[in-house]
């Protein structure tokens, strides 16, 4: 290919006369050979186009580098041969550069014949050529291979946006993505959700298996997250074991709750690492824009508060943000701070739940539940108290207190009845734990064989020597051991081989789903019973609520049960009366059937009828309905819109009425809020409220009232219902 267009014109004689005589002047052919050598060496490549943008010249070496045939390339539009090389394809267009008839440089391109994101990267430069009459004749330019340099820049850019360990977006990119999405969605009045996710027991893996195992675990977690979320999203790792998910165009809390459960379920399955097998869990907080915030700071803070609440609720759970969470968080922290004074001040007390032998109906063991008689809050039951205690520095003190006081109580019972106490992992691993148990037995005079310590499988994720030392010491004392929550996701036969357990307490999640004999979970319960029998261990199932479940467990071979179908936890006084005869036999309630759980509440809400809003008292709440009090003479069939707060509106029909009290049935059932509470699947968008006259900027995050009273309309109709006479109510 001739290089005539790239060679300098011959100098005039007058100019040459004033220049030094070259030592060895190059002929025209030599200069062509020199340029050809430069092209072959890769030090410089050349191209040219005509006034129409069609390629008229291309260095053969350049054509070979990008894998095109010169014969097919010449005469083609140059802009059709090269694409911008940046990953998003948003770089400067070669067609625009050529059409501008201006000099350009530093344009990174790839051949259009290369696979997407593949092939060498070239840097093109060009200058326009004009004829003596000023008309444009084409471009002359150069090219250089900058593939290595470009890839280094791409990697540097990637490291600035993505987590090097997992490949997920990093904290900086996630903040930018959330901010950009909220800004765009605010203008379009669209929703998006943010999930904050924190791994449970990850520190134990780092401490016991090492940081290399922790890194590999995080990579596997990232991969499971990608598989669990089957919709458009952005997943990020913010650092440590904290992850974040951004989900556009979703505000359905039912769908989000299902997704959260799927993530939690997948992440708690066992992991196989080079250093060993491990199991972790995950807690998750969810906030939805614009309901819970309209800026990046607001929505992330809301999701963080929801995550904190989920972790305080026992971990392995999800929680939606609500406007009450901030006050709840503050109050819970105060309770945690007061725990030490509660132990020292005698505010803790025990209730005992019977454990019944299925075949005979006799109470064989009483399980101790720690409760707190708070001076201002009143009695804090065992379930809520356990949530407060989780992660507290006083967990060991409370655990020892429970063992001592349970032994003291049991020393006055018939010898045929044992006492069971749940042992927190942190207490079990204390070096002095076995000695403290021995001292409690000595002080109370209780026979060691009547003390049952329930040990959670999570202890086996700790250092093996510490666990074996504690198990061996307890075995020498003669204390009975129960493996708690067996089948919770990290069970191992090795645990049963290592430890001298007397019984297996089956995970409540398996028990709840084992009601039908043909179910998969029922088969798992049967397998656990068979395994326990082969190892000469008893089996225990808790939380039994219905006669059908009790019968299914009896057929599966479970020996001991406990739950509401027999008896709720009782206090010491009632227990003394029950055991006075020496033995306590309890018949199950044959007529008890499962029903939607009703939460007793006592708070003011609004119900809307026509264009009027009435303030009433919400007395209880279930998935399917509610009980309200405060309006007189409301007939059956009346429809209300129930404002549960936070933009939660539920259409309901009065199905029972009497005096100032009405029973309501919801048109659409409520759903779990992830913490044992209930919420509506959807909320009224604050954008809709803004359209109705409430300015969006005036609405605090997570606090939207449903336009009470006259805000719904100005029709001037007369309210149909009268308020009942004021009655003083005591909080339920």
**What DSSP letter does each residue of 142-189 carry, written as one string?**
EEEE-HHHHHHHHHHHHHHHB-TTT-SB-HHHHHHHHHHHHHHHHHHT
Q: In sequence order, what are the residues at sequence separation of 6 or more whose Cβ sits closer than 8 angstroms to the Cβ of residue 615?
A: 604, 605, 606, 630
Q: Are 355 and 363 in contact (CB under 8 A)?
A: yes
Segment among 391-405, 523-537, 676-690 with least mean pLDDT: 676-690
Q: Which helix (H) or strand (E) holds 110?
A: strand 104-111
Whole-angstrom CA distances from 170 to 150, 236, 465, 479, 684 are: 22, 5, 38, 50, 33
With residue 532 as reference, give the H or E element that holds it.
Answer: helix 520-534
pLDDT at position 591: 55
Backbone angles phi and psi of 4, in degrees to 5: -55, -40
363: its two tokens: 């109470």
Beta bridge partners of 285: 196, 319
E strands, 659-723, are: 661-666, 671-672, 678-679, 722-723
Arithmetic mean of pLDDT, 293-307: 92
Residue 155 predicted with pLDDT over 60: yes
Q: What is the rounded distance in angstroms from the CA atom of residue 252 to the CA atom of residue 258?
A: 10
Which alpha helices (DSSP H) does 42-165 contain, by range? 60-66, 70-73, 94-99, 147-161
pLDDT of 41 reads 66
Quick one: pLDDT at residue 596? 39
DSSP characters for 371-390? Answer: EEEETTTEEE-HHHHHHHHT
* The two domains 4-11+27-153 and 162-323 share their CATH topology (first three levels equal): no
Q: Characterize the bridge pairing of strands 639-645 and 678-679.
A: unpaired
Specify the 3-state DSSP secondary structure of 466: helix
When comparing pLDDT for 92 and 255, which is higher?
A: 255
Contact at 8 Å (CB) between 243 and 237?
yes
**To the nearest 5 percent, what fractions of the chain are helix, strand and coil?**
35, 25, 35
Per the CB < 8 A criterion, the answer to whether 222 and 266 are in contact is no
For the ranges 298-312, 346-360, 505-519, 712-726, the lowest mean pLDDT is seen at: 712-726
pLDDT tens-place string over residues 203-220? 878 877 888 889 999 999
CA distances from 360 to 278, 356, 474, 560, 578 (A): 40, 8, 30, 10, 17
Averaged confidence pLDDT in the chain? 81
**Any residues with CB less than 8 A from the CB of 509 and at least 6 apart, and which?**
487, 488
pLDDT band of 360, cuts 50, 70, 90:
very high
CA distance 15 to 465: 94
Q: Which of 231-235, 511-515, 596-600 has the highest mean pLDDT?
A: 231-235
Integer Cα distance of 85 and 121 in angstroms: 7
Q: Decide: 605 and 648 in contact? Cβ < 8 Å.
A: no
DSSP class of residue 449 equals: G
Q: Say if residue 378's pLDDT is above 90.
A: no
pLDDT at residue 32 in the model: 67
**194, two tokens:** 């943010």
pLDDT at 562 over 70: yes
pLDDT of 439: 95
Q: How far are the Cα atoms of 214, 252, 275, 290 from residue 460, in angstroms, in the given order?
A: 17, 39, 15, 44
- The span from the CA of 482 to the CA of 489, in Å, is 17
Does residue 730 surpass a pLDDT of 60?
no
Residue the block writes with tokens 């440089």: 105
pLDDT of residue 71: 78
Q: Pseudo-torsion of CA 333, 336, 340, 342, nearest 10°?
A: 110
Residue 714 in this model has a pLDDT that exceeds 50: no
pTM here is 0.55
Q: How far separated are the first and last CA of the chain, in Å rounded?
A: 95
- For domain 349-578, the question of CATH label 3.20.20.450 is answered with yes
Fold that domain 599-723 belongs to in CATH: Thrombin, subunit H (2.40.10)
pLDDT at 302: 92
User: Which band of pLDDT confidence, cut at 50, 70 and 90, is reported for residue 710?
Assistant: very low
Helices (H), 20-131: 28-41, 60-66, 70-73, 94-99
Average pLDDT over residues 637-646: 88
Q: What confidence score (pLDDT) does residue 729 get?
A: 40
Q: Is the pLDDT of residue 649 over 60?
A: yes
- Percentage of the residues of the chain whose pLDDT score is greater than 70: 82
Distances (CA, A) of 241 to 178, 198, 346, 467: 20, 6, 38, 25
Provide the pLDDT for residue 580. 82
Is pLDDT larger for residue 285 or for residue 708?
285
Range in 162-171, 606-615, 723-732 with the lowest mean pLDDT: 723-732
Model pLDDT for residues 526-548, shown as the tens digit of each residue: 888 998 888 889 999 988 888 88
Separation CA 278–CA 715 (nearest Å):
65
Range in 415-429, 473-487, 568-582 with the lowest mean pLDDT: 568-582
Q: Indicate the DSSP class of residue 413.
A: S
Torsion over CA: 479, 485, 489, 492 (sign): positive
| CATH number at 4-11+27-153 | 3.30.450.20
Mean pLDDT check: name the lowest of 115-129, 303-317, 716-730.
716-730
pLDDT at 396 over 80: yes
Average pLDDT over residues 234-238: 95
CA distance linking residue 282 with residue 199, whole number of Å = 4
The helix or strand, by DSSP H or E, that contains position 349, with its residue range, turns out to be strand 348-357
Q: How many CA atoms lie within 13 A of 247 on its CB side?
A: 22
pLDDT at res. 95: 86
- Phi/psi for 721 (5° steps) reads -120, 145
Residue 340's CB is within 10 A of a number of other CB atoms, namely 14
Between 81 and 442, name the one with better pLDDT: 442
Give the Cα-Cα-Cα angle 59, 63, 66 (nearest 5 degrees): 140
Residue 36 CA, distance from chain mean position: 62
Nearest to 48 by CA among 4, 93, 96: 4
> In the chain, what are the domain boundaries?
4-11+27-153, 162-323, 349-578, 599-723
Fold annotation for 162-323: Alpha-Beta Plaits (3.30.70)
pLDDT at 502 over 60: yes
> How much is the pLDDT for 492?
59
What percent of the chain has a predicted confidence (pLDDT) above 90? Answer: 34
Q: What is the mean pLDDT of residues 410-421?
A: 94
480, 449 in Cβ contact below 8 A? yes
**3-class secondary-structure state, position 11:** coil
Whether 463 shows a pLDDT value over 60: the answer reads yes
């Amino acid at each position: 290919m001739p290089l005539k267009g790239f060679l300098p014109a011959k100098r005039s004689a007058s100019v040459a006369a004033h220049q030094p005589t070259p030592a060895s002047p190059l002929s025209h052919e030599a200069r062509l050979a020199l340029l050809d050598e430069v092209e072959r060496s890769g030090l410089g490549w050349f191209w040219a186009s005509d006034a129409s943008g069609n390629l008229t010249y291309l260095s053969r070496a350049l054509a070979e580098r990008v894998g095109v045939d010169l014969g097919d390339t010449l005469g083609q539009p140059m802009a059709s041969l090269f694409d911008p090389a940046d990953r998003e394809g948003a770089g400067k267009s070669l067609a625009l550069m050529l059409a501008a008839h201006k000099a350009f440089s530093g344009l990174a391109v790839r051949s259009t014949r290369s696979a997407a994101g593949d092939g060498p990267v070239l840097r093109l430069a060009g200058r326009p050529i004009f004829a003596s009459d000023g008309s444009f004749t084409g471009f002359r330019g150069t090219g250089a291979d900058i593939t290595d340099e470009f890839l280094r820049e791409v990697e540097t850019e990637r490291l600035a946006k993505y987590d090097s360990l997992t490949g997920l977006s990093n904290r900086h990119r996630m903040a930018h993505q959330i901010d950009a999405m909220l800004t765009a969605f605010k203008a379009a009045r669209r929703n998006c959700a943010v999930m904050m996710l924190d791994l449970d027991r990850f520190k134990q893996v780092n401490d016991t298996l090492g940081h290399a195992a922790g890194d590999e675990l995080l990579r596997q977690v990232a991969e499971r997250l990608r598989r669990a979320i089957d919709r458009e999203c952005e997943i990020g790792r913010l650092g440590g074991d904290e992850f974040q998910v951004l989900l556009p165009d979703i505000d359905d809390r039912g769908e989000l709750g299902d997704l959260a459960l799927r993530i939690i379920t997948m992440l708690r399955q066992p992991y196989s690492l080079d250093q060993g097998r491990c199991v972790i869990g995950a807690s998750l907080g969810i906030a939805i824009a614009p309901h819970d915030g309209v800026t990046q700071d607001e929505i992330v803070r809301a999701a963080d508060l929801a995550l904190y609440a989920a972790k305080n609720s026992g971990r392995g759970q999800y929680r939606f943000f609500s406007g009450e969470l901030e006050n709840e968080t503050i109050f819970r922290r105060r309770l945690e701070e007061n725990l030490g004074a509660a132990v020292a001040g005698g505010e803790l007390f025990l209730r005992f739940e019977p454990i019944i032998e299925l075949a005979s109906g006799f109470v064989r063991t009483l399980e101790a539940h720690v409760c707190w008689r708070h001076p201002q809050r009143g009695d804090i039951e065992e379930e809520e108290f356990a949530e407060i205690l989780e992660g507290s520095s006083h967990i060991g003190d409370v655990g020892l207190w429970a063992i001592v006081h349970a032994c003291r109580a049991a020393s006055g019972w018939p010898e045929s009845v044992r006492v069971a106490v749940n042992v927190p992992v942190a207490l079990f691993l204390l070096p002095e734990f076995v000695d403290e148990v021995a001292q409690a037995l000595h002080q109370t005079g209780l026979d060691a064989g009547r003390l049952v310590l329930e040990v959670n499988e999570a202890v086996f994720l700790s250092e093996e020597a510490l666990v074996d030392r504690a198990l061996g010491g307890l075995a020498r004392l003669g204390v009975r051991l129960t493996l708690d929550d067996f089948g919770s996701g990290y069970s191992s036969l090795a645990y049963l081989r290592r430890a001298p357990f007397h019984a297996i307490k089956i995970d409540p999640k398996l028990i709840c789903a084992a009601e039908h004999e043909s179910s998969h979970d029922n088969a798992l319960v049967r397998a656990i019973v068979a395994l326990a029998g082969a190892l000469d261990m008893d089996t225990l199932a808790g939380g039994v609520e219905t006669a059908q479940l009790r019968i299914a467990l009896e057929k599966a071979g479970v020996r001991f049960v406990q739950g509401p179908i027999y008896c709720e936890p009782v206090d010491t006084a009632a227990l003394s009366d029950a055991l006075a005869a020496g033995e306590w036999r309890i018949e199950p309630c044959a007529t008890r059937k499962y029903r939607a759980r009703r939460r007793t509440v006592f708070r003011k809400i609004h119900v809307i009828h026509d264009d009027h809003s009435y303030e009433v008292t919400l007395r209880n709440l279930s998935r399917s309905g509610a009980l309200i009090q405060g309006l007189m003479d409301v007939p059956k069939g009346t429809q209300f819109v129930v404002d549960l707060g936070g933009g939660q509106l539920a259409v309901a029909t009065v199905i029972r009425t009497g005096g100032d009290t009405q029973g309501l049935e919801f048109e659409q059932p409520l759903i779990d809020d992830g913490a044992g509470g209930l919420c509506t699947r959807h909320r009224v968008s604050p954008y809709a409220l803004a359209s109705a006259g409430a300015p969006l900027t005036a609405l605090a995050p997570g606090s939207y009232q449903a336009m009470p009273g006259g805000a719904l309309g100005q029709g001037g109709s007369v309210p149909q219902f009268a308020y009942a006479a004021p009655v003083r109510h005591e909080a339920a």
